[in-house]
């Protein structure tokens, strides 16, 4: 069967919005637990629970047969890109304020829009490219490069941007694989990759020996020893697993159903959500540069969406594909 692209932008936008809300809650819970547990332990528990939910989606979409694939290598590559994106981002999240880390990560939708041109052959006009440049300028403003000293090291500030690059590559690959693979299968493959990688981390560094003498807080978060969760924290781990299942399915479904350039701007709703959680839970309030950058990014995203809607409407007087004016 010849692969065909799905084109259901409204449903794709709905899925991406649900997915981003789940991501914002996931990030909040990761930050809450980051002071007492290693990252790879959280990823293992989260993915084990998330895999159960993902298999529920598999059976809802037709059963285990949907897991069959002729491109296992590409699915493995996609899974590894997700793992790398998550690990670099969460290492930054353990140190940076929630709103700032999220804002820096939001170079990802800009990269997705740009990568959709050479990788997927999607058409993105000069006006949308200009909006992407404006949004990228907003990300740069939030990094405050004019300051000699910043709240965290330049390396930590760079981690969300590196995570964004991995994430962007993963999502354009999702669009390509989604021509022949169900969203539930994509989610299962990702959860399985997380489980394998986190298990390897446990076998190699689970006793915490590589964290001894380390001063960098991000590396400590990555390498500290596993700890049996406190009774009250099991609810948080369960929430992580539920969010993981929702995120894995919704993001895969969104990028299967519509062009990446259409879907990507809606990921910006994660910015105000991150700022809200940071303020409510951690008492973090963005500095003026972060606010300015957010306005540039959200403005660019809204423009890209409006431009896409305008292009989708038939020109006045032009006959539609169904023969009606």
Q: For the chain, what percentages of helix, strand and coil (3-state, to nearest 5) are there?
A: 75, 0, 25
Residue 324, domain member (yes or no) = no
Residue 3, domain member (yes or no) = no
Residue 67, domain member (yes or no) = yes
Residue recorded with tokens 């354009």: 172
Residue 183, domain member (yes or no) = yes
Residue 236, domain member (yes or no) = yes
Structural domain count of the chain? 1
Give the span between the Cα atoms of 252 and 55, in whole angstroms. 14
Three-state SS for 322?
coil
What pLDDT sits at residue 6?
Answer: 64
Residue 317, domain member (yes or no) = no
* pLDDT of the chain, 325 residues: tens digit per residue: 444 556 788 888 899 999 999 999 999 999 999 888 999 999 998 899 889 888 988 998 888 888 888 888 888 898 899 899 999 999 888 888 888 888 888 778 778 778 877 776 777 778 878 888 888 888 788 777 766 666 667 778 789 889 999 988 887 887 777 667 888 888 899 889 999 999 999 999 989 998 888 888 888 888 899 999 888 899 999 999 899 888 888 888 887 887 766 777 787 788 889 989 999 998 888 888 878 887 887 787 777 767 766 665 555 554 433 333 3
- Owning domain of residue 294: 9-311
Residue 65, domain member (yes or no) = yes
What pLDDT sits at residue 311?
Answer: 64
Crossing angle for the helix pair 108-115 and 288-312, to the nearest 10 degrees: 30
For the chain, the C-alpha Rg in angstroms (whole number) is 20
Give the span between the Cα atoms of 282 and 211, in whole angstroms. 26
The CA–CA distances, whole Å, from 79 to 5, 167, 196, 305 equal 21, 10, 10, 28
What pLDDT sits at residue 149?
Answer: 64
What pLDDT sits at residue 236?
Answer: 92
Give the span between the Cα atoms of 205 and 222, in whole angstroms. 9
What pLDDT sits at residue 202?
Answer: 92
What pLDDT sits at residue 312?
Answer: 59
On whether the pTM is more than 0.75, the answer is: yes
Residue 200, domain member (yes or no) = yes
Give the span between the Cα atoms of 62 and 57, in whole angstroms. 9
């Amino acid at each position: 069967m010849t692969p065909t692209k799905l084109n259901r932008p409204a449903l794709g936008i709905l899925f991406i919005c649900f997915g981003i809300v789940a991501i914002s809650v996931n990030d909040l819970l990761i930050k809450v637990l980051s002071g007492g547990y290693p990252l790879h332990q959280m990823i293992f528990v989260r993915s084990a629970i998330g895999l159960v939910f993902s298999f529920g989606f598999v059976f809802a979409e037709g059963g285990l047969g949907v897991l069959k694939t002729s491109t296992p290598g590409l699915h493995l590559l996609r899974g590894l890109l997700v793992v790398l994106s998550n690990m670099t981002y969460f290492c930054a999240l353990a140190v940076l304020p929630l709103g700032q880390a999220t804002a820096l990560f939001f170079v990802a939708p800009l990269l997705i829009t740009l990568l959709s041109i050479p990788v997927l052959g999607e058409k993105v006009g000069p006006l949308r490219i200009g909006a992407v440049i404006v949004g990228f300028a907003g990300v740069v403003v939030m990094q405050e490069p004019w300051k000699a000293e910043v709240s965290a090291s330049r390396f930590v500030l760079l981690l969300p941007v590196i995570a964004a690059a991995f994430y962007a590559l993963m999502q354009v690959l999702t669009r390509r694989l989604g021509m022949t693979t169900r969203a539930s299968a994509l989610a299962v493959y990702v959860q399985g990759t997380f489980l394998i990688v986190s298990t390897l981390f446990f076998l190699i560094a689970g006793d915490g020996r590589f964290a001894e003498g380390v001063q960098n807080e991000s590396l400590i978060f990555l390498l500290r020893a596993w700890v049996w969760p406190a009774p009250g924290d099991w609810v948080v781990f369960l929430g992580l697993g539920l969010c993981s299942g929702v995120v894995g399915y919704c993001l895969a479904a969104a990028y299967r159903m519509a062009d990446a350039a259409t879907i990507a701007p809606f990921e910006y709703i994660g910015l105000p959500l991150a700022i809200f959680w940071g303020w409510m839970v951690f008492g973090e309030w963005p500095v003026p540069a972060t606010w300015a950058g957010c306005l540039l990014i959200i403005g660019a995203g809204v423009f890209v969406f409006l431009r896409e809607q305008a292009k989708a409407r038939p020109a006045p007087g032009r006959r539609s594909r169904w023969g009606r004016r």
